[in-house]
Structure 1
């Protein structure tokens, strides 16, 4: 009698277990966004056949599959203008996001061209292939010691062309007398 009850209980448990809905447990995604490499106090040089044209300094750089994150970084670009003068462009930011040839500078962005042009903003987008910088936030800066501010900047570093909306430019004119 005990064996019949035991077999009946096993049969009823197996039938109940067969018809009971099963929750699918989600497996951890194996393709998580994990860092591939992490560098501390890093320097990256970009060389071409003629010279070294780009240097990136960062406190911390993290490489992912599709992007690079750089904290407290600076990007230094070197080129030569039409008059064979060396030009050094420097971009500083709290966070730099690089995807292929596109750089996004976020928070406390400072752009400096040699000693005559500076721009300060909180966002700047730069394409290394076309050498065009844009932003959608307000900016301020100087151009040969003259004050400049505006919004939505477009800066072509190849043609030395700049365009912006709501621009305010103050020229400091010193009177020189005889």
Structure 2
């Protein structure tokens, strides 16, 4: 009797499990981050009322929904502020990821402002509107023909302010 009762219970459980709705979970392919456009060897110029304010060249650029990825890229930014005495800022890196006004430069980053600041590092974050450059890795370069190296760079391009940790600065002194 117990075995028969056990078999009936199993039969009822099997029949009730057959009628329980099961949701099939499909992975939504629309949520994948796919490239919208791929440019090979692009050259982009941004114009304003005075001049060409920005020039971007790269080996190739991939545009996604929320970001742009540039490879072997060079960005040339012209100064539009009349009260500043520099003309051109150059940002160069193997990989640049642009999200809005934020640029994340990675691998062999070179920052140059005219001929008085040259910085080399492996990582740099740069904001196009506020002209703030900062990183938390080691860097080296030249500042008015004087050697500089350190970590945790903070460079304010509008106020001409530079801050860093573990700085080593070698000043070239010329006797007259």
TM-score by length of 2: 0.83
Q: Which residue of the partner structure matches residue 39 of structure 2?
A: 39
Q: Which residue of the partner structure matches residue 128 of structure 2?
A: 128
Which secondary structure state, in structure 2, belongs to the residue aligned with residue 175 of structure 1?
Answer: coil
* Deviation of 1:85 (Å): 4.8
Alpha carbons of structure 1 residues 80 and 30: separation in structure 2 relative to 1, 3 Å = closer
CA contact (8 A) 1:73 1:93 kept: yes
TM-score by length of 1: 0.82
Alpha carbons of structure 1 residues 146 and 84: separation in structure 2 relative to 1, 3 Å = closer
CA distance in 1, matches of 2:131, 2:140: 20
Q: Does 1:109 align with 2:109?
A: yes
CA contact (8 A) 1:110 1:118 kept: yes
Q: Which residue of the partner structure matches residue 24 of structure 1?
A: 24
* Deviation of 1:174 (Å): 2.6
Q: Which residue of the partner structure matches residue 9 of structure 1?
A: none
List gaps (5 residues or longer) in structure 1.
Answer: 1-14
CA contact (8 A) 1:81 1:87 kept: no
Post-superposition Cα deviations, 1:104-133, rounded to whole Å, max 9, x if no partner, equal: 000100011111210000011011111111
CA contact (8 A) 1:40 1:59 kept: yes
Number of residue pairs matched by the alignment: 163
Q: Tell me whether 100-109 or 74-83 shows the greater mean CA deviation.
A: 74-83
RMSD value, Cα: 2.3
Q: Tell me whether 109-118 or 78-87 shows the greater mean CA deviation.
A: 78-87
Q: Which residue of the partner structure matches residue 4 of structure 1?
A: none
List gaps (5 residues or longer) in structure 2.
Answer: 1-14
CA contact (8 A) 2:86 2:113 kept: no
CA contact (8 A) 1:80 1:86 kept: no
Q: Tell me whether 49-58 or 64-73 shows the greater mean CA deviation.
A: 49-58
The aligned runs of 1:88-99 (5 Å cut-off) are 88-99=88-99
